[in-house]
Amino acid sequence: MTENAPRAPIPATIAETAADWIVRRDGGELSADDELAFQNWLSEPAHRHAFARLEDLWGLIESDPAPIAMQPTRLPPIAPKRRSIFRRKRRSSTAPARKPQRWAGTAVAASIALVAFASFGDWPTRLRADYATGVGERRVLALEDGSRVTLGSSSAIVHEFSGARRKVRLLEGSAFFEVAPDRSRPFTVEAAGGSATALGTAFAVHERGGIAELVVTEHRVRVIGGGRSGIVDEGQRVDFDAETLGVIETAGNGATAWTRGRLVVVNRPLREVVAEIARYRHGYLSVAGTAADVKVSGVYDLDHPLAAVDSIERSLNLQSFRISDRLIVLHR
């Protein structure tokens, strides 16, 4: 294996045992028998390697945080309680040893397995949706008025067509709209507390973190955000939400490349790129530490997200913590 090659994933059974040993050692001094059992387990190179990488991962998560705007995506909410478990504390010789919390090892191991193998979905949102896509899925829909909608990965919409209007609400994800002309019934897409109304044919709306991005590919769209309105012309883009309307500017090349299974980025922070790729795969994917702020440019294949992650890891000379291919954390 070359220096820049991705690290092999840690088998889930070994990761669970390593987590159990970390918790038991943190809970207090091991008995002579337990210490001997631990050293015997640690004598296997694969076990020792897994143990060290698991401690390194939580060390990264526990490091001094960057300012809020610079924070990478964090692990699910179970992580904060676990951080103190994984950090081995120095104790004075006079401090009483705590009783080993053996139950905690099982809880941590179960948490690791959950993160590694479960698929996290917003089921309440999907129950509200008229149409939705799964992870990595793109779907082309034909609406009753003749309009076409292309849904991106992990996306959902609900629509309401009446005699006076055509309204679609983007509940999550991305959608590209090719609107059938009908001057008597405006076609409006609501997202992130704002709206976009077609004055022509085609546009895309992408919602992330409570902010919507509008990209117009044909004709014009009227956008409303934060009580303000504006006209976005073909080849332009703008961000909007319930409180603000951003600056209308030229859309970059590849702004709607996701409809063809590609992610095109130019000088964007790695944390944003990784977050977008994460939408196209099952499991957990993130980037920690200083690597999150590295600016990257490139074209990535969203139909093969794991290959995209491996390419990023090699090209930026990063390392990764992996449990199977369901939990991946990139770092320096």
Task: Indicate whether 224 pLDDT > 90.
Answer: yes
Q: Is residue 8 exposed (0-12), middle (13-18) or buried (19+ Cβ within 10 Å)? A: exposed
CA nearest 214: which of 203, 225, 198? 203
Which range is most confident: 4-18, 210-224, 277-291?
A: 210-224
Q: What percent of the chain has pLDDT over 70?
A: 73
Asked whether the beta carbons of 15 and 323 are under 8 A apart, the reply is: yes
Give the H/E segment covering residue 57: helix 45-62
CA nearest 169: which of 209, 137, 139, 212? 212
- In which residue are the tokens 């679609």 written? 168
Q: What is the pLDDT of residue 23?
A: 64
Question: Predicted confidence band at 252 (pLDDT cuts at 50, 70, 90)?
Answer: confident
Please give the average per-residue pLDDT across 4-18, as a whole number.
Answer: 64
Question: Predicted confidence band at 187 (pLDDT cuts at 50, 70, 90)?
Answer: very high
Q: Supply the DSSP symbol for 239.
A: E
Domains and CATH numbers, the chain: 12-117 (no CATH), 139-250 (2.60.120.1440), 260-331 (3.55.50.30)
Q: Are strands 187-191 and 166-178 parallel, antiparallel or unpaired?
A: parallel
Task: Indicate whether 72 pLDDT > 50.
Answer: no
What whole-number distance in Å separates Cα of residue 169 and Cα of residue 224? Answer: 14
Q: What is the pLDDT of residue 66?
A: 34
Which residues neighbour 156 within 8 Å (Cβ) at sequence distance 6 or greater? 125, 126, 128, 129, 131, 132, 133, 170, 171, 172, 173
CA 148 vs CA 256, 274, 290: distances in Å: 15, 29, 42
What is the per-residue pLDDT across 163-174, written as a single tens digit (0 to 9) for each? 889 999 999 999
Task: Indicate whether 105 pLDDT > 80.
Answer: no
The pair phi, psi for residue 138, each rounded to 5°, is -120, 140
